[in-house]
Copies of this chain bind each other. A is one copy, B any other.
Amino acid sequence: MEDEVDRLVAAWRRERPDLDVEPLEVLSRVSRLARHLDRARRTAFAEHGLEPWEFDVLTALRRAGAPYQLSPGQLLTQTLVTSGTMTNRIDRLTAKGLVVRLPDPDDRRGVLVRLTEAGRDKADQALAGLLAHEREILAQLAPAQQTELAALLRNLVAPFDRAGQ
């Protein structure tokens, strides 16, 4: 079975036979697979009327556990966007009735973003849908292979996470 990266690597070997392009065999596949996953996620979420960024925010709140609330600051460290972007996102989620903004009782500068009932339902449904789609993609691999793949990837990701993202 051949993929686009095999063709990419072959082209480089033809044009730059002096270079060792082995690293691309792993890392270009990671990047390309991630792009395909983004598209698949977008499709999966559209079934629930959600954009990927909405899913990211809602599930961050959902994972926090009852009462499902975090500050905008905590949300932006978890989702890796800037504060201007997060303000905009909270505005739109509020307009859709999926979250509410509450004053922080302990810090009058602060705000707490809390999931509404509807927001929690959306998050739960969208997560279930996403997992179903992902299981299909992973059906290419035997369970033992999946475990092995996860372990190999953990080795590559860990140094980044360790470095304080």
Chain A interfacial positions (CB closer than 8 Å to B) = 1-6, 8, 11-12, 14-16, 19-27, 29-38, 62-63, 65, 80, 124, 127-128, 131, 134-135, 137-138, 140-141, 145-150, 152-162, 165
Q: Are A127 and B19 in contact (CB under 8 A)?
A: yes
**Are B156 and A21 in touch, CB under 8 angstroms?**
no
Contacts of A160 in B (CB 8 A): 32-33, 36
Given contacts A19-B127, A21-B131, A149-B149, contact A27 B138 (CB under 8 A): yes
Q: Given the complex of chains A and B, what is the CA–CA distance between A27 and B36 in angstroms? A: 11
Q: Pick the contact of A157 from B33, B135, B149 — CB < 8 Å?
A: B33
Number of copies: 2
Cβ contacts under 8 Å, A124 to chain B: 16
Q: What B residues does A20 contact at CB under 8 A?
A: 131
* Cβ-defined contact, B161 with A4, below 8 A: yes
A157 touches B36 (CB 8 A): yes
How far is it, in angstroms, between the C-alpha of A1 and the C-alpha of B4 when the chains are bound? Answer: 32
Residues of B within 8 A of A153 (CB): 26, 29-30, 33, 149
Assess the B149–A152 pair: CB atoms within 8 A: yes
Q: How far is the CB of A66 from chain B (nearest CB, A)?
A: 9
A152 touches which of B6, B16, B152, B158 (Cβ 8 Å): B152
Contact B127 A140 (CB under 8 A): no
Contacts A5-B157, A157-B29 given; indicate if A15 touches B62 (C-beta within 8 A): yes
